Amino acid sequence: MKTGDSGEFGLISRIAAQVHSHQGVITGIGDDAAVTVLTPDMQLLTSTDMLMEDIHFRRRWHDPYRLGRKSLAVSISDLAAMGAIPRWALLSLAIPADLPPNFITECTHGFLAMAEEYSVTLIGGDTCASRSGLVISVTIMGEQRPELILRRSGARPGDDIWVSGTLGDAALGLKLLDFGFDSAQPRDSAGHTGRSLSGAEGAVSRLLDPTPRVTAGLALAASGLVTSMIDISDGILADFGHIAELSGVGGCLHLDDLPVSDCFRSIASAFNDFPHDLPLSGGEDYELCFTASPGDREKIIGLMKKCGNQATAVGIVSRQPEVTVVRADGSSYTPLSKGFNHLI
């Protein structure tokens, strides 16, 4: 395995030397298993995600540092969606022979920087050779008091459907990269790249370096106002669909109420045939979608403001099991696509 002169064990000890330990780690990397302690009265939440080259990312678009950050961010986002506190992570890498020597070093720097930002400790993992592209597998563990854990299954007919932040930026970023926008291009003195598009860098950054909404997830869990929650990895249409299915309800999404960023609006207005329903079906925004009683609207808006985020009511949960989309004039809308298929 070509991970440097010292091979697998050298790679693991170089990674271990950079790990900062946080709460609850008795024995970290280096033994047969890690030993951790849960905070009293908390339950353990575990989630795993795999990022595969040319399915979830492309090496020509994704620099190794931001790839490392994203590989952990998407897992942290799953814990944020349950209202949990992220604590520990496992990182496994299948490494192809043609990977440049510094790629894994940069990638682990990115991973560990994201870990530090969210007080997550890397406690183990595995490495092996790959014959078909880089594979990054991350398992995340977190904890929360049982009564605060939020699930997909609690939405009730009549609840508002909410989203944090803005939608569609990451999918727009993917379109821009596909179109030939180069996020690594040198800038001129005015900060413009060769393909100058105002806000393009911001959209690409939402795709390549997403932010998990942990603070908002924890605040929503602690509020006791939220009946169900999920993170938006495949577009709100598909992800609210998961809430609907597990809650035994349906819902109506208001297309024209979906929040978009200034950058999204300015780029969308520059093209005639812009796929305007990216905020509905575009993936990888990693915002939170949740449901709550309409009586709690003001509290939800205030709570999210305190977290430095925003919340927008984008629909209503219904008793009928299907999920529909309507325009501002009340006409029904047929989505261009049902959900996001990553790079496939």
Which positions touch Mg ion (CB under 5 A)?
Answer: 78, 231
CB of 39 to Mg ion, least distance (A): 23
CB of 65 to Mg ion, least distance (A): 24
Nearer to Mg ion, 219 or 229 (CB): 229
CB of 234 to Mg ion, least distance (A): 9
CB of 74 to Mg ion, least distance (A): 8
Nearer to Mg ion, 78 or 284 (CB): 78
Nearer to Mg ion, 78 or 169 (CB): 78
151, 228 in Cβ contact below 8 A?
yes
CB of 69 to Mg ion, least distance (A): 17
Q: Rounded distance, CA 236 to CA 240, Å?
A: 5
Nearer to Mg ion, 107 or 289 (CB): 289
Contact residues for 294 (Cβ-Cβ < 8 A; gap 6+): 158, 159, 160
Nearer to Mg ion, 209 or 231 (CB): 231
Nearer to Mg ion, 231 or 296 (CB): 231
Nearer to Mg ion, 25 or 221 (CB): 221
CB of 230 to Mg ion, least distance (A): 6
Nearer to Mg ion, 29 or 238 (CB): 238
Of the candidates 136, 133, 53, the residue with the CA atom closest to the CA atom of residue 89: 136
CB of 323 to Mg ion, least distance (A): 17
CB of 78 to Mg ion, least distance (A): 4
Nearer to Mg ion, 152 or 254 (CB): 152
* Exposed/middle/buried for residue 73 (C-beta within 10 Å: 0-12, 13-18, 19+): buried
CB of 209 to Mg ion, least distance (A): 18
